[in-house]
Amino acid sequence: MTGSETVLVTLADGVLKLTLNRPDKLNSFNEEMHLALRAGVERAHSDAEVRAVLLTGAGRGFCAGQDLGNRDPRKGGPAPDLGHTLDTFYNPNLRLIRSLEKPVICAVNGVAAGAGANIALACDIVLAAKSAKFIQAFAKIGLVPDAGGTWSLTRLLGEARAKALTLTAEPLGAERAADWGLIWKAVEDGDLMAEAGALALSLANGPTLGLGLTKRLIHAAATSSLDQQLDMERDLQQIAGRSDDYAEGVTAFLEKRKAEFKGK
Ligand code: LHQ
C-alpha cells in the first residue's frame, strides 16, 4: 500500500484501487485528500502497469464533497475564494480523471454528496450500492454545483432532471439513478465491491489501448458533427487496427481461445 492515509492506493493485476479514506467525515475533501487523489490519478496516467482504475470510499459513505469544517464562517475573516479552491484542487483532479485513457470504474459504496457525487459522475462506469444516494447538496449551502456536475448531469440526464436535482438538492437513490441512466448499475450492498472489482479486473485484462481510444471517441461525440465523428472513428480505428491487441484478438477468435491482451 502506498499514498497518503487519506487515499489508500493498491495496485494488483493491473487495477489501481483508490480508496477515499476519511470515513469519520464521510470522506469529505481536505487539501491532503485532494493532493493524494491527484497523485493516484497521475500515477494511473504514467504507470504502464496500471490498466484500469477503481475508485471507492472507506466506511459507510463514498464522499460528502468539500470538508465544510474547514470553512467555518463563524471563525470570521474574509470570505473564502472558492473559485481558487476549484482551480487549485478540484478541477485538476476532474481533468485528470476525464483525460485518463484507461477505464475508470467508480464503486459508490454510500452517500455521494456535493462534489463527491460529481467526482463519481466523472468516472467511466459507475456502480452504486442500492443504499447509496446522490445528493446535489450545493443548494442547501448557497453554492452552485461544481466538480463538473452541471456538465455531467445535463449531458447524462437532460435539463429537466439536472435542474430539479440541483435546485432542490433532493437525494437520488442508486436504483433510480440507474433507471435514469445517471449511472451504470445499482447492486446489492454486499455485492458492490466484488462486482466492481471483477469489472475493473476484466477491463484491465482487456485491450486497453482500444478501450482508451473508445473513451476518446465517446467524449468527442458530445461536441462533434456526424462527419467529424466518422472521420475520428476512421483515424482511431487505423491506430487500433495496428495494435498487437487487434492481432491477438482476431488470432484468439480464429483459434477459439481466450485472447491475452497487453494494452499495446
Ligand atoms: C462532514 C461532511 C462534510 C465535514 C459529513 N464536511 N464533515 C465546496 C466548497 C469549497 C470549494 C468548492 O466546492 C465545494 C463543493 C462541495 O462539495 S459543496 C457540498 C459540501 N457537502 C455537503 O454540503 C454535504 C454535507 N453533508 C451532509 O449533508 C450529510 O452529512 C450527508 C447527507 C452527506 C450524510 O448524512 P448522514 O448520513 O446523516 O451523516 P452525518 O451528517 O451524520 O455525517 C457523519 C459525519 O460526517 C458527521 O460528523 P460527526 O462528527 O457529527 O459524526 C458529519 O459532520 C461529517 N460530515 N459531511 N461535507
Phi, psi for 50 (deg, rounded to 5): -85, 120
Find the mean pLDDT for residues 225-249. 98
Same structural domain, 121 and 219: no
Same structural domain, 63 and 194: yes
Nearest-angstrom CA–CA distance, 105 and 102: 10
Q: Is the pLDDT at 257 greater than 60, yes or no?
A: yes
Same structural domain, 222 and 141: no
Same structural domain, 247 and 168: no
Cross-sheet strand order for the sheet of 185-187: 7-12, 15-20, 52-57, 104-108, 125-129, 185-187
With cut-offs at 50, 70 and 90, classify the pLDDT of residue 256: very high
Number of domains in the chain: 2
Full-model pTM:
0.97
Helical axes 159-168 vs 149-157, angle rounded to 10°:
140
Find the mean pLDDT for residues 216-221. 98
CB 65 within 8 A of CB 85: no
pLDDT tens sequence across 19-72:
999 999 999 999 999 999 999 999 999 999 999 999 999 999 999 999 999 778
pLDDT at 204: 98
C-alpha of residue 23 to centroid of ligand 1, in Å: 11
Summary mean pLDDT of the chain: 97
Q: Which residue of 24, 25, 88 sits with most ligand 1 atoms within 8 Å of its CB, as the best mutation to test the pocket?
A: 25
Give residue 167's domain range: 7-204
C-alpha of residue 68 to centroid of ligand 1, in Å: 7
Name the residue with the closest Cα to ligand 1, atom 55: 25
Nearest-angstrom CA–CA distance, 39 and 109: 22
DSSP 243: S
**Per the structure block, which three cell numbers stand in for 116?**
463527491
Coil/strand/helix, residue 5: coil
Same structural domain, 42 and 134: yes
Neighbours of 188 (CB within 10 A): 11
Same structural domain, 161 and 247: no
Same structural domain, 177 and 212: no
DSSP 222: T
Q: Is 132 exposed, middle or buried (0-12, 13-18, 19+ CB in 10 A)?
A: buried
C-alpha of residue 89 to centroid of ligand 1, in Å: 18
Name the residue with the closest Cα to ligand 1, atom 3: 67
pLDDT tens sequence across 129-140:
999 999 999 999
Cross-sheet strand order for the sheet of 133-135: 61-63, 111-113, 133-135, 172-173
Q: Is 124 exposed, middle or buried (0-12, 13-18, 19+ CB in 10 A)?
A: buried
With cut-offs at 50, 70 and 90, classify the pLDDT of residue 74: confident
Name the residue with the closest Cα to ligand 1, atom 38: 111
Atom of ligand 1 nearest to the CA of 86: 12
Atom of ligand 1 nearest to the CA of 171: 32
Same structural domain, 18 and 52: yes
Find the mean pLDDT for residues 186-210. 98
Same structural domain, 78 and 186: yes
pLDDT tens sequence across 146-182:
999 999 999 999 999 999 999 999 999 999 999 999 9
pLDDT at 124: 98
Name the residue with the closest Cα to ligand 1, atom 34: 111
Q: Is residue 157 part of a domain?
A: yes
Q: Which helix (H) or strand (E) segment is 177 a member of?
A: helix 174-180
Same structural domain, 156 and 216: no
Residue with cell 463514498: 62
Q: Is the pLDDT at 3 greater than 60, yes or no?
A: no
pLDDT tens sequence across 96-112:
999 999 999 999 999 99
Q: Which residues line ligand 1 (CB under 6 A)?
A: 25-26, 28, 64-69, 82, 85-86, 111, 113-115, 135, 137-138, 140-141, 143, 146
